[in-house]
Amino acid sequence: MCEKAKGDGAAAMSACYQGFDPAAYLQYNYTPPRADFERQVSIVPWKLHSVCTALSLKVTSDVSGELLVDIGTGPTLYHVILTDFLEVNHQELRRWLQDEGDCGLDWMSYLQHVCKLEGRQYGDIDYNCNP
């Protein structure tokens, strides 16, 4: 838990996220060993497979619909709909989309993996981005 978050509520949570570092978050959570696309037991390929399965409605549960919204996607790019509260996360994504070279993570391996899960080629992606 964030040490800055004294008390409860939105103000405490806001104080907690003021020093959020998107590049450090990406390096810790979205690079090997967590994001090893050669190993299906790695957490990130498992998460992507789970989202793909839920969206394709291949599960037998109460999941239904055509849209999955993940609130607070952080500085990540593989989600269906990008939402986040922090401007630093928006900036991180803009750096990658605009190929500025100083972004925290290259998302190509993620996009290729998602295309593989969906049975598409990477070149079939239609980018319609409004960062």
Residue 68 lies in a domain: yes
Residue 87: give its domain's CATH number.
3.40.50.150
Q: Chain-wide mean pLDDT for the chain?
A: 74
Of 35, 31, 15, give the one whose Cα is nearest residue 23. Answer: 31
As a whole-number percent, the residues of the chain with pLDDT over 90 amount to: 5
What pLDDT is attached to residue 28? 92
Domain membership of residue 57 as a residue range? 20-121
What pLDDT is attached to residue 55? 67
Q: What tens digit of pLDDT does each residue of 45-90 get? A: 888 887 777 766 555 556 666 666 777 777 776 655 666 778 888 8
What pLDDT is attached to residue 129? 39
- pLDDT of 94 > 50? The answer is yes
